[in-house]
Structure 1
């Protein structure tokens, strides 16, 4: 799909939304109007959500830091993230807090971020923050990618798991972060099953620096076996990394240590997907969201399948042109 086709497809989706939004205004449905506005904004921004999910203390924030080549996202060994945190491109390092019950966005220093997004600083998200939006001058973010750090699954803090599960419909691609301590928990596998239809999934086993080669091989075989059992030939790719070693290597410009961390292999595959397949996946997911939003108050017969996909084999066999 070239740029012209991509823009034409976006325009077609926008026209469908615009026509339907007129009906919503007539019905005075404020909640639906907000949902339409959100979809319009995502189309305009080319916003592609790459979400990082997994149990608490798997190293999701550390993995994001490793990809971005920074150590600015808070990390730790206890349940940390209690708020959906997005990272997008900006020429300067900035953080904007968006609250659930306030219309005014609040800028803060990134050094103050732990006070608002961690379980220690903001237990159970008592402050009512909807999202914390970070802008960083990282090259991989320049093409409209939003890296999304989510609260850990399976912790005793039920609000954190609920926050992550409620965000899953907004995911365009997914990085499941598990670890060698107890690879691929039930909650993590269930989350992958929830979003697997039409969504690219990468599975990363983190903390390879904590195990021997034999333990690493055994854990990888277990994870791949579990994924094949549930997904067959469409099982997600599995990567072994040490995010901690990768961050240290990048900050020290140590190429040898970076290579042994496993990060270059994962980053190459991730970058290839984001560059080569982002447009088709973005449009397909947006079309699905539009159809879902219109269901219930508009006849679906008038809404065609998107021209950039092939649905002849069912919804799980959509192929970008």
Structure 2
């Protein structure tokens, strides 16, 4: 790849092909920084989803966690990734000299008497200090002439040939090391039979192998066997063959071309036919004939600004110097492309796998969130409609039920009032049923009245219950059931089953509260003997007529108009006669109530007017009547008179509380129905509260799904962007127009 050659994306290549690796490394590092950021966000995101949602599965969370660790590992590897060149060959073939020539500095001791007996890795470091690190003990030593002696044959403390010593050389002093190139010098492959361990330990991550051969001899079987083993462990390794010490052929110019052709054919045959790591054309471009000694001397003088000591060079050295530079150019192109592919291709593929998995996962989360949101939205709308319907129905049913309760209470009031009025009219029958020993002495009479009060109260209550309670209970139960049927429709089935225990079958009992004891507490009986024809009785009776005169007149006016006795003339005569009779009786009563003399005077007056016989007869009859009444005024008669008086008194008192009692009963019914309605409303209200709570929870869940969907879309877009960046990276650095 020349300096003017363009890459697949049209970008102009830098002066050195090694710059491509640095650019690719920076680019893929930046990409994996973004991947790490997004995978961390995705990992936290799926963790939060796994705790509260079913949008993510546990294995997906585990996969994200694994990818997080994997990305972190890739980033650590990318920081250490460098282009690695491993130099192999037989002892004293000039491997160290080749490395020094490429580094343009005599970093590794080389020449006669210096044989590398362990692996030396030359790498660039920041700063101006040159030092070395022994991988066995990680001891850091200043790089002086003394410490390097132990790495070459002849030292007192020789190391094992599979020991790695890292030589850290300042990048500012070597152009090649600035581009993340690591050069590994090895002991001669003919000094140890344990070549497999060398390959496993130092060669598996090498991008280019350089076989430094001795141009004065042909390829040895030892060298071939080593690279056969390398080829078995790595797929088509990049192998360059340097026929070093080609300057020795300058003494035999006539044979040089023929020898070169023989070496070339054998080397190409080894790469193409035996190892099968390159095509014939590629193999010809990977075989070079150089002199590392001349290249090192020329470059050291060139860097110092002094002319090349041509007197130390053999004939044709310019061609060998050009061949070495050509090797470096081909080597740089090959290692750059090879390192990019070997170091970054797998990482790019892993990045693709991670981004695609993350993209697919986020896309599935989005789809699941949309589907779940749709289901929740339908459920939310259903709950909201149910809540609105419940509110509307409650307004309508409340008005209907209130009106029903009002009509029910009015009917109860009328029914109880009618029943109580009828029972009052039948009060005499109830009192007559009272069967207790009657005694007129005050103490016994007091107990008698108490028991009579209880009897009347119990009887009235029993009668009212028999007449009203069953019907009222049935009506209340029916009304309660109607209310329940109307309101329980608004309650879900599962909640409706729970209300069975809330509304047990209640036997409503009406309490009439007829407190006859207090109601008739002021009742005073009059059971003293009173002769019906006694003067005081007659006077009281006629006095009662006089006092009831308006009533009597009213009753007279109420007679039919065709009655002769009710004519205006007769009514006037009767009125005059009544007034005259009342006046006489009043006067007579006044006389009678005066003294005995007045009585005798009246008797004399009557005797003179009617005759003494008539008076005597009338007196006898009068006396017999008195005697009869006196004899028949027994305890039973007193009881009858007492009950009659009690009935009259109690009836009047009970009539006063008819409205109050009926209102009280209607209030009880109203209270019972309102209580049932209140409990039903409470259940409906609980259902509404449950619906409101469900709506709030659904709103929260829908909000979470919206947020999850937005975050998933954001991460999906970010992942798609990184995936595009990876695709551009692969197109730019992993698929050029041509390969070596």
1:151 Cα offset (Å): 1.4
TM-score (norm 2): 0.34
Q: Does 1:142 align with 2:191?
A: no
5 Å-filtered alignment, 1:179-218, equals: 179-193=214-228, 194-195=230-231, 197-211=235-249, 212-218=252-258
1:135 Cα offset (Å): 0.6
1:59 Cα offset (Å): 0.3
| TM-superposition CA deviations, 1:138-187 (whole Å, max 9, x none) | 112211111211111112x4468853664121211122110123232223
| TM-superposition CA deviations, 1:250-298 (whole Å, max 9, x none) | 3343075494371333224423552x5555322321257769x9xxxxx
Q: Tell me: CA distance 1:273–1:241, structure 2 relative to 1, closer, same or farther (3 Å).
A: closer
More strand by share: 1
5 Å-filtered alignment, 1:297-316, equals: none
Q: Tell me: CA distance 1:118–1:288, structure 2 relative to 1, closer, same or farther (3 Å).
A: farther
1:48 Cα offset (Å): 0.6
Q: Tell me: CA distance 1:278–1:154, structure 2 relative to 1, closer, same or farther (3 Å).
A: closer
Q: Does 1:267 align with 2:325?
A: yes
Per the alignment, in what secondary structure is the counterpart of residue 123 of structure 1? Answer: coil
Q: Tell me: CA distance 1:279–1:249, structure 2 relative to 1, closer, same or farther (3 Å).
A: closer
Q: Which runs of 5+ in 1 are unaligned?
A: 27-32, 294-301, 311-317
Q: Tell me: CA distance 1:270–1:42, structure 2 relative to 1, closer, same or farther (3 Å).
A: farther
1:80 Cα offset (Å): 1.8
Q: Does 1:89 align with 2:124?
A: yes
Match for 2:293 among 244, 253, 270?
244
CA contact (8 A) 1:208 1:216 kept: no
1:89 Cα offset (Å): 2.9
CA contact (8 A) 2:131 2:141 kept: yes
Alignment match, 2:342: 285
Match for 2:142 among 108, 118, 127?
108
Query: How far apart, in 2, do the equivalents of 1:175 and 1:270 lie?
Result: 11
Query: How far apart, in 2, do the equivalents of 1:84 and 1:22 lie?
Result: 39
Query: How far apart, in 1, do the equivalents of 2:26 and 2:293 lie?
Result: 40
Alignment match, 2:551: none
Query: How far apart, in 2, do the equivalents of 1:221 and 1:66 lie?
Result: 25
Per the alignment, in what secondary structure is the counterpart of residue 262 of structure 1? Answer: helix
Per the alignment, in what secondary structure is the counterpart of residue 217 of structure 1? Answer: helix
Per the alignment, in what secondary structure is the counterpart of residue 57 of structure 1? Answer: coil
Per the alignment, in what secondary structure is the counterpart of residue 224 of structure 1? Answer: helix
TM-score (norm 1): 0.71
Alignment match, 1:57: 92
Query: How far apart, in 2, do the equivalents of 1:12 and 1:169 lie?
Result: 26
Per the alignment, in what secondary structure is the counterpart of residue 52 of structure 1? Answer: strand
Query: How far apart, in 1, do the equivalents of 2:255 and 2:235 lie?
Result: 32
5 Å-filtered alignment, 1:219-258, equals: 219-229=259-269, 230-231=271-272, 232-233=279-280, 234-235=282-283, 237-252=286-301, 253-254=307-308, 257=313
Q: Tell me: CA distance 1:259–1:222, structure 2 relative to 1, closer, same or farther (3 Å).
A: closer
5 Å-filtered alignment, 1:169-188, equals: 169-188=204-223
1:129 Cα offset (Å): 4.2
Q: Tell me: CA distance 1:158–1:266, structure 2 relative to 1, closer, same or farther (3 Å).
A: same
Query: How far apart, in 2, do the equivalents of 1:13 and 1:185 lie?
Result: 45
Structure number with greater Rg is 2
Query: How far apart, in 2, do the equivalents of 1:67 and 1:6 lie?
Result: 23
Query: How far apart, in 2, do the equivalents of 1:271 and 1:89 lie?
Result: 20
Aligned length in residues: 292
Alignment match, 1:44: 79
Query: How far apart, in 2, do the equivalents of 1:209 and 1:173 lie?
Result: 25
Query: How far apart, in 2, do the equivalents of 1:7 and 1:49 lie?
Result: 17
